[in-house]
């Protein structure tokens, strides 16, 4: 060193870092042992990176040094240290990586959590790695000494008391790797006990791919579980392995072990988590499969191995066919990866088919968690579209809310003369069942699928056809249904006159007014013309685009309904007499028509302002109560 007195440089954390520290320390206190998991997992990552670098780079410091993790505790001094012979850190790494937060999503998430005054449960902690800073829960000062893996690298010491500053100084050169050490606060002195550390590590670190020593005692058996034969793996091992790679608290819902040999060779151990992570539908959740090449981890979060709609799958894939020094860019465009992806997809869908057939309650659990995601495959995975369609389950008019049906079962129940598969969108079963468009189908016992999942509007219409029968929204005007013959309906002439009156009053509010052949109990209903969109689709569009305007609908009127017949009578009377009652009658006719129309809008959740509607309703109530 040129200078005899080594310089210590002081740095300040970024503002958001301080916030994060504060939140972590105050929300993790129920799980102080988390710090150990974070430290071991960082060491394991560092060793993986080193192992990878060693394959391609000859300029490695201490190339022969054994890859291992050594933890030392001393209960007298209350001290803890963890050392690894991994990749180490340069001075820049210490500044860039230790002083900042990896994912902005994590900070957002923690902030919200703090606002809502919830505490972190163990499962959530698992979903969001809280990182190195969790160590400040159990200590007041951390020291890191680290040497990067290039031959000429120097050794640096980083120190911080977790307030708003940290310092870095260059120190006497040490072997490659990182040592992190600190003195435990009194409240956490149990972590200076060997048995306590062993206990925690059993839970979190049994599958670390490198030897782990605690006070010179080797505590884990290193084995790549996916290389074992199926018969040799115990259920418990699978569950433990799953928890190790995901940090999940629960056992997985199911797993799939593959050993593919032939043109393509790979082994895989895949899991479906019991419950979907809370952030699965947002982008901040970025865990995926781990890609190994001959037992060496080459990519931690390999999105190229699964289609997006199966992104809930966790696990490992290990192939000998990839060159080990493969870069991320190569894996992204490699035909081998595309083939593995296609095999994995087929096998996973096969597993789901098997559950759907033979383990209905498991499948239901799966579907409740991941069904919405699976549906995205209909639009994106053309080669598996048919398989995905078979896996869909729906609520339907002929079954109770709990009893979901497949399209296959629906078709089996279809009467011979029924040509189309009927569905209706809605926010809930209850709202759908109030829809007048359902009346005809209810009367004739025709089954209608209830589409209540918000993503249905983007996927189900794109099925187009199943078993040569087209899927049809019963909101559409052009249904091929047999007309009911109502003996008590209005005469044609009267009906025509009344329809003209409706058209005059509603004018350009509607596309058309027609006589209905589907209504039974309701006087009117709105249906979609040839060009229009389902009302649920329109609602979605409005949410996405404030300027989106709804298309005009067709109003169908039920000419055998008492209200409609009364209106026809009023119309007839007012055209016969030219007295002052005419005006009153015309006014009543007009108001009733508007009220019926707005009532239909209200049912669809599309009535903008209820002011006029309520005003008219009160007038009608006044009239009808006056007679009593």
Q: What residue ranges bind ligand ADP (CB under 6 A)? A: 38, 42-43, 46, 84, 86-89, 97-98, 102, 129, 131-132, 178
Comparison of 94 and 404: residue with beta carbon closer to ligand ADP: 94
Least separation in angstroms between CB 14 and ligand ADP: 14
Least separation in angstroms between CB 129 and ligand ADP: 4
Sheet strand arrangement including 395-396 = 395-396, 448-451, 421-425, 469-473, 465-466
Least separation in angstroms between CB 391 and ligand ADP: 35
Least separation in angstroms between CB 292 and ligand ADP: 19
Cα gap 527→429, rounded to integer Å: 19
* Residue 257 φ/ψ, nearest 5 degrees: -110, 130
HEC per residue, 291-354: EEECCEEEEEEEHHHCCHHHCCCEEEEEECCCCCCCCHHHHHHCHHHHHHHHHHHHHHHHHHHH
Least separation in angstroms between CB 157 and ligand ADP: 14
Cα gap 318→312, rounded to integer Å: 19
Q: Could you tell me what percentage of the chain is helix, strand and coil, using 3-state DSSP and rounding each to the nearest 5? A: 45, 20, 35
Nearest Cα to Cα of residue 39 among 145, 186, 241, 179: 179
Comparison of 95 and 481: residue with beta carbon closer to ligand ADP: 95
The residue whose Cβ lies closest to ligand ADP is 131
Comparison of 290 and 397: residue with beta carbon closer to ligand ADP: 290
Comparison of 67 and 474: residue with beta carbon closer to ligand ADP: 67
Cα gap 22→4, rounded to integer Å: 38
Least separation in angstroms between CB 103 and ligand ADP: 8
Comparison of 89 and 348: residue with beta carbon closer to ligand ADP: 89
Least separation in angstroms between CB 362 and ligand ADP: 33
Least separation in angstroms between CB 136 and ligand ADP: 11
What is the rounded radius of gyration, in angstroms, for the C-alpha atoms of the chain? 34
Largest distance between two CA atoms of the chain: 116
Comparison of 25 and 351: residue with beta carbon closer to ligand ADP: 25
3-state DSSP assignment of residue 577: coil
- 610 to each of 555, 563, 600, 601, 607, how far by Cα in Å? 19, 22, 12, 10, 7
Comparison of 160 and 473: residue with beta carbon closer to ligand ADP: 160
Comparison of 46 and 305: residue with beta carbon closer to ligand ADP: 46
Cβ contact 289:242 at 8 Å: no
CB neighbours of residue 331 within 10 Å: 19
Cβ contact 380:309 at 8 Å: yes
């Amino acid at each position: 060193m040129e200078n005899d007195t080594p310089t210590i440089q002081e740095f300040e954390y970024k503002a958001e870092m301080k916030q994060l520290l504060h939140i972590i320390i105050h929300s993790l206190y129920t799980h102080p042992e988390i710090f150990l998991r974070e430290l071991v997992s960082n060491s394991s990552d560092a060793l993986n990176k080193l192992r990878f670098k060693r394959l391609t780079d000859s300029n490695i410091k201490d190339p022969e040094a054994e890859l291992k993790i050594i933890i030392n505790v001393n209960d007298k001094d209350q001290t803890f240290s963890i050392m690894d012979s991994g990749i180490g850190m340069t001075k820049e790494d210490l500044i860039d990586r230790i002083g900042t937060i990896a994912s902005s999503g994590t900070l957002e998430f923690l902030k919200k959590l703090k606002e809502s005054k919830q505490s972190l449960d163990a499962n959530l902690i698992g979903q969001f790695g809280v990182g190195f800073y969790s160590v400040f829960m159990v200590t007041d000062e951390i020291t890191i000494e680290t040497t990067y893996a290039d031959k000429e690298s120097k050794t640096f010491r980083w120190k911080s008391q977790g307030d708003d500053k940290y310092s870095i100084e260059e120190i006497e050169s040490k072997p490659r790797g990182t040592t992190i050490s600190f003195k435990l606060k009194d409240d956490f002195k149990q972590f200076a006990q060997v048995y306590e550390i062993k206990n925690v590590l059993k839970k979190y670190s049994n599958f670390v791919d490198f030897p782990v020593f605690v006070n010179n005692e080797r505590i884990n058996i290193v084995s790549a579980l996916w290389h074992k034969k199926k018969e040799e793996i115990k259920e418990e091992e699978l569950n433990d392995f799953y928890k190790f790679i995901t940090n999940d608290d629960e056992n997985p819902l199911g797993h799939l072990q593959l050993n593919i040999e032939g043109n393509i060779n790979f082994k895989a151990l895949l899991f479906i988590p019991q419950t979907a992570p809370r952030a699965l539908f947002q982008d901040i959740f970025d865990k995926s499969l781990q890609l190994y090449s001959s037992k060496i981890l080459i990519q931690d979060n390999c999105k190229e191995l699964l289609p997006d709609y199966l992104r809930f799958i966790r696990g490992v894939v290990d192939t000998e066919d990839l060159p080990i020094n493969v870069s991320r860019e190569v894996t992204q465009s490699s035909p081998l990866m595309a083939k593995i992806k296609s095999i994995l997809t087929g096998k996973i869908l096969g597993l789901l088919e098997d559950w759907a057939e033979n383990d209905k309650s498991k499948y239901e659990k799966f579907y409740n968690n991941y069904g919405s995601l699976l549906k995205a495959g209909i639009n994106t995975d053309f080669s598996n579209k048919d398989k995905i369609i078979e896996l869909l389950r729906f609520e339907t008019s002929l079954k109770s809310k709990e009893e979901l049906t497949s399209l296959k079962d629906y078709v089996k129940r279809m009467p011979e003369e029924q040509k189309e598969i009927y569905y209706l969108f809605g926010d809930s079963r209850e709202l759908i069942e109030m829809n007048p468009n359902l009346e005809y189908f209810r009367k004739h016992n025709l089954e209608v699928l209830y589409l209540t999942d918000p993503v249905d509007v983007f996927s189900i219409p794109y099925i187009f056809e199943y078993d040569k029968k087209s899927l049809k929204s019963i909101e559409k005007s052009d249904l091929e249904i047999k007309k009911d013959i109502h003996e008590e309906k209005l005469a044609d002439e009267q009906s025509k006159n009344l329809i003209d009156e409706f058209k005059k009053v509603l004018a350009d509010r509607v596309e058309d007014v027609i006589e209905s052949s589907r209504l039974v109990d309701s006087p009117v209903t709105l249906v979609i013309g040839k060009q229009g969109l389902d009302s649920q689709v329109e609602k979605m569009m409005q949410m996405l685009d404030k300027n989106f305007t709804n298309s005009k609908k067709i109003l169908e009127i039920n000419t055998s309904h008492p209200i409609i017949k009364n209106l026809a009578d009023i119309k007839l009377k007012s055209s016969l007499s030219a007295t002052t009652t005419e005006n009153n009658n015309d006014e009543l006719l007009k108001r009733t028509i508007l009220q019926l129309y707005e009532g239909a809008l209200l049912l669809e959740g599309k009535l903008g302002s209820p002011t006029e509607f309520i005003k008219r309703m009160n007038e009608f109530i006044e009239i009808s109560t006056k007679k009593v």
